[in-house]
Structure 1
Amino acid sequence: MRLISHPVLCNYYVTYRCNASCGFCDIWEKPSPYITVENLRDNIRDLKRLGVKVIDFTGGEPLLHRQLDVLLREAKEQGMITTVTSNGLLYPKYAERLKGLVDMLHFSLDSPDRDEHDKSRNVKCFDKVMESIQIAREMGERPDIIFTIFEDNVDQIKRMWEEICLPNDLILILNPVFEYNGVGGNLSEQTLKELLWWGKQKNVYLNEAFIQLRLDGGNHVDDPICKAASTTIVISPENKLVLPCYHLGLKDFPIEGNLYDLYHSDEVQKLVALEGKLPACEGCAINCYMQPSFAVEMNRYWWKALPSTIKYNRIKGTWKQMLKM
């Protein structure tokens, strides 16, 4: 049963550029402009009309956009819940400007070990993440740590939790790796079960529906769980609407100041209707599109996702805003 029929999330790519070059990500390889404040203002207006409540300013590295604070303020003034995920390299420089503008501030960390993390990112940024945590907490911010889980680092969860998250009262977000274009990988059933155990621990967030989806073999085109195109608006740095999702990106449409009508156009809605049903959708388990998919339709994944969703939003204090969606 479909509970919400309108988009709930916008993945707004402020740039594809990045100051790291992680081995499990290829976005940093793309040439890219930066979005303009003028385009954002037009799009925010239409995102609100479409029913979008959460806007994720993403990239690349979003802090490379020198007007990120302006973008965030525009979103907050329209009542949006804002999220930003950063590698921490630039946060100490811009922290004061971003204060109070990010509802869900995430710092990416790949290992509790400095050398391992820096090797994963191909740039020395572990110390910057630690500095960013300290600065954010001193300013009253409540950042989270995103830890992408691979088969070979699941044994490091305990150290990450005990040495970094608990002492700093941070939420540890466990992000199971997904496979895309030969980047990423799969997780064994044993690792998935271990993640389920960790998800029940204090200050740990794991969406259990991610685990169930992987145990079920991912999305299936004959009975798709993916609702990427109808739940999520993807906007590129070139100010184009990307469909059916960023990772497939079969087609993009110039927005030209009229996102609302563009989204409801016949050409766009034909692609929306194909969400989860395309050949490339078979077996997909991409977290950033499955999370909103789990939230809009009452099924076994909705029930699996519910406890962790309540847990996270209770801790972060965003649950009242979520109820308005």
Structure 2
Amino acid sequence: MRLVRHPVLCNYYVTYRCNAKCSFCDIWEKPSPYITLEDVAQNLRDLKRLGVSVVDFTGGEPLLHRQIHEFVGLAHDMGFITTLTTNCLLYPKYAEKLRGKVDMLHFSLDSSEKEVHDKGRGVACFDFVLESIRVARELGERPDVLFTVFRENLADLENVYRDITRPNKLVLILNPAFDYNGVDAGGQLTEAELDYLSDFGKRPGVYLNEAFIQLRRDGGNHVAAPVCRAASTTLVISPSNELVLPCYHLGEQKFPVQGRLFDLYNSAEVQQLAALEGRLPQCEGCTINCYMQPSFAVETSKYFWQALPSTLKYNWEKGTWKRMIFS
């Protein structure tokens, strides 16, 4: 049964440019413009009309945009739950400007060892993550550590948890890697590895959407009976101010927004394409977390019930439930 029939999330790409070269991502290879404050302001007003409650300012590396603090500040003041993930190379520079404006601030860290993390990210950023944690805590911020899980770094979870997140009283978010568009994320985790990850997710101060684990056990999304609700739950806006459908990773069609996001999203052309969510040939086997997370939240299914405890746990620990209720 569908519980929410309007979109709940916007993945707002401020730029595709990035100052890292992660081995599991191809976005840094793309040329890109930067979004404008004028377009952001208009689109946020339309997102509000559409019922969106969470805006994820993403990239590329979102802190490459010199106005990023203005974007998140505007969205935050309008009552949106704001999220931002960074590799931390620029966070110490922007920390004061971002202070109090990002509800869910994620610092990417995939290993407790500098050489391993920096190799995977293609740039020396490990020390910047540790410095960013220090700076954020001094400012009273509560960042999370976003750990992208691969087979080769699974054993390092214990060290990151013991040496970094627990001493700093941070939430450790477990983000199982996924393949897309020919980008190799190191292969699927085995049943034993999924069991280990699932058990780790039950620890205090750790967030893991258990539905992600079940989806992988089930072989991902299946076009004959799709669980993905990417297009009806999530709006993807490109740095060129385009609405991208059915999701960023497929990017089948792009529609210029031109100041009319509300009408564009509700147009027959867009809704016809949105109706194909999870049913395109490329959707078979998909496990992309950023679209499955909102998909699980709007429709009762086994995934909904499996996702619910961890979602409640995270929002309770972060206090974001207060903004969700009172915004």
Fold shared, TM-score > 0.5 on shorter chain: yes
Partner of 1:234: 236
Partner of 1:123: 123
- In the alignment, structure 1 residue 35 sits paired with structure 2 residue 35: yes
Partner of 1:272: 274
- In the alignment, structure 1 residue 192 sits paired with structure 2 residue 194: yes
Distance apart, 1:186 and its partner CA: 1.4
Partner of 1:23: 23
- The CA distance in 1 between the partners of 2:216 and 2:262, in whole Å, is 34
- The CA distance in 2 between the partners of 1:92 and 1:243, in whole Å, is 34
Q: SS at the partner of 1:16?
A: coil
- The CA distance in 1 between the partners of 2:221 and 2:294, in whole Å, is 14
- TM-score in terms of structure 2 length: 0.98
- The CA distance in 1 between the partners of 2:19 and 2:172, in whole Å, is 23
- Partner AA of 2:321 in structure 1: W
Distance apart, 1:189 and its partner CA: 1.0
Partner of 1:305: 307
Q: SS at the partner of 1:252?
A: strand
Partner of 1:293: 295
Q: SS at the partner of 1:55?
A: strand
- The CA distance in 2 between the partners of 1:44 and 1:221, in whole Å, is 32
Distance apart, 1:320 and its partner CA: 2.6
- In the alignment, structure 1 residue 253 sits paired with structure 2 residue 247: no
Identical aligned residues as a percent: 66
- The CA distance in 1 between the partners of 2:324 and 2:299, in whole Å, is 16
- The CA distance in 2 between the partners of 1:73 and 1:124, in whole Å, is 29
Distance apart, 1:322 and its partner CA: 3.1
Partner of 1:86: 86
Instruction: Give the alignment of 1:117-266 within 5 angstroms.
Output: 117-183=117-183, 184=185, 185-266=187-268
- The CA distance in 1 between the partners of 2:46 and 2:82, in whole Å, is 16
Partner of 2:318: 316
Query: Where in structure 1 are there 5+ consecutive unaligned residues?
Result: none
Distance apart, 1:279 and its partner CA: 0.5
Relative to structure 1, the CA distance from residue 128 to residue 247 in structure 2 (aligned partners, 3 Å threshold; closer, same or farther) is same
- The CA distance in 2 between the partners of 1:324 and 1:275, in whole Å, is 31
Q: SS at the partner of 1:200?
A: coil
- The CA distance in 1 between the partners of 2:210 and 2:195, in whole Å, is 10
Distance apart, 1:323 and its partner CA: 4.3
Distance apart, 1:319 and its partner CA: 1.3
Partner of 2:44: 44
- The CA distance in 1 between the partners of 2:77 and 2:172, in whole Å, is 29
Distance apart, 1:324 and its partner CA: 6.4
- Partner AA of 1:91 in structure 2: Y
CA RMSD of aligned residues (A): 0.9
Query: Where in structure 2 are there 5+ consecutive unaligned residues?
Result: none
- The CA distance in 2 between the partners of 1:159 and 1:32, in whole Å, is 37
Instruction: Give the alignment of 1:63-74 within 5 angstroms.
Output: 63-74=63-74
Distance apart, 1:181 and its partner CA: 2.0
- The CA distance in 2 between the partners of 1:249 and 1:10, in whole Å, is 15
Distance apart, 1:74 and its partner CA: 1.1
Residue-by-residue CA offset, 1:24-57 (whole Å, 9 max, x unaligned)? 1000000000000000011000000000000000
- Partner AA of 1:241 in structure 2: L
Q: SS at the partner of 1:83?
A: strand
- Partner AA of 1:33 in structure 2: P
- Partner AA of 1:171 in structure 2: V
- Partner AA of 1:173 in structure 2: I
- TM-score in terms of structure 1 length: 0.99
- Partner AA of 1:96 in structure 2: E
Distance apart, 1:141 and its partner CA: 0.2
